[in-house]
Amino acid sequence: MLKLSQLWRTTTVRLTALFLLIFVVFSVLLLGLIWWQTTMQLQKAQTDAIDREAAALVRIDADGGFRETLNAVLRLAQQPGPGIYFVADQSGQMLLGNVTDLPPEVLSDPGTFTFNYERSRPPGVDEDAPAPTGTALVRSVRLESGLILVVGRDVVERRGYSAIILQWFGIGVAGIMVFSLIAGVVTAVRVLRRVETINATSRKIMSGSLSERVPVTRRNDEFDGLATSLNQMLDRIEQLMQGMKEVTDNVAHDLKTPLTRLRNRAESALRDGQGDDAQREALETTIEESDRLIKTFNALLMIARAEAGTPSGAFSELDLSAVVADVAELYGPLAEDEGLELVAEVVEGVRLNGNRELLGQALVNLVENALKYYEPVEGKAGKITVSLRKAGPRVLIEVTDNGPGIPAEDRTRVVERFVRLEKSRTMPGSGLGLSLVSAVTRLHGGEFRIEDNAPGVRAVIELPGVAG
**pLDDT tens-digit readout, 87-109:** 888 888 888 888 877 888 888 88
Q: Tell me the average pLDDT across 197-210.
A: 85
- Strand residues in 264-392 grouped as ranges (E): 316-319, 341-346, 351-354, 383-391
389 in the Ramachandran plot: left (φ > 0), alpha (ψ -120 to 50) or beta? beta
Q: Tell me the average pLDDT across 30-46.
A: 81
- What letter does residue 374 receive in the DSSP assignment? -
Whether omega for the bond prior to residue 455 falls within 30 degrees of 0, making it cis, is yes
**Cα 24 to Cα 138: distance, rounded to the nearest angstrom:** 38
How sure is the predictor about 64, in pLDDT bands with cuts at 50, 70 and 90? confident
Query: Long-range contacts made by residues 445-450, C-beta under 8 angstroms, separation at least 24?
Result: 446/394, 448/415, 449/411, 450/406, 450/411, 450/412, 450/414, 450/415
CATH number of 313-463: 3.30.565.10
**pLDDT tens-digit readout, 226-260:** 888 888 888 878 877 776 776 666 666 666 767 77
Residue 445 neighbours by CB distance under 10 Å: 12
**Cα 73 to Cα 95: distance, rounded to the nearest angstrom:** 10
| Mean pLDDT score across all residues of the chain | 78
**pLDDT tens-digit readout, 171-183:** 877 887 787 778 7
CA 59, 64, 70, 75 torsion-angle sign: negative
Are the C-beta atoms of residues 434 and 427 closer than 8 Å to each other?
A: no
**Cα 414 to Cα 432: distance, rounded to the nearest angstrom:** 9
Give the model's pLDDT for residue 28.
Answer: 77
Give the model's pLDDT for residue 97.
Answer: 84
**Cα 86 to Cα 96: distance, rounded to the nearest angstrom:** 6
What does R_g of the chain's alpha carbons equal in angstroms?
50
Does residue 156 have a pLDDT over 50? yes
**Cα 278 to Cα 283: distance, rounded to the nearest angstrom:** 9
Q: Tell me the average pLDDT across 160-186.
A: 78
- Helix (H) / strand (E) containing 181: helix 156-206
**Cα 347 to Cα 322: distance, rounded to the nearest angstrom:** 10
**Cα 50 to Cα 292: distance, rounded to the nearest angstrom:** 111
> Backbone phi, then psi, for 420, in 5-degree steps?
-135, 135
| Beta-bridge partner residues of 451 | 458
Amino acid at 281: E
**Cα 144 to Cα 58: distance, rounded to the nearest angstrom:** 8
**pLDDT tens-digit readout, 426-453:** 445 556 677 778 888 888 888 888 888 8
Domain ranges of the chain: 1-121+129-210, 213-254, 313-463
Q: Per-residue DSSP letters for 8-59?
A: HHSHHHHHHHHHHHHHHHHHHHHHHHHHHHHHHHHHHHHHHHHHHHHHHHHH
Are the C-beta atoms of residues 353 and 316 closer than 8 Å to each other?
A: yes
Percentage of the chain with pLDDT > 90? 3
**pLDDT tens-digit readout, 255-279:** 676 777 777 777 777 775 566 777 7
Give the model's pLDDT for residue 387.
Answer: 92
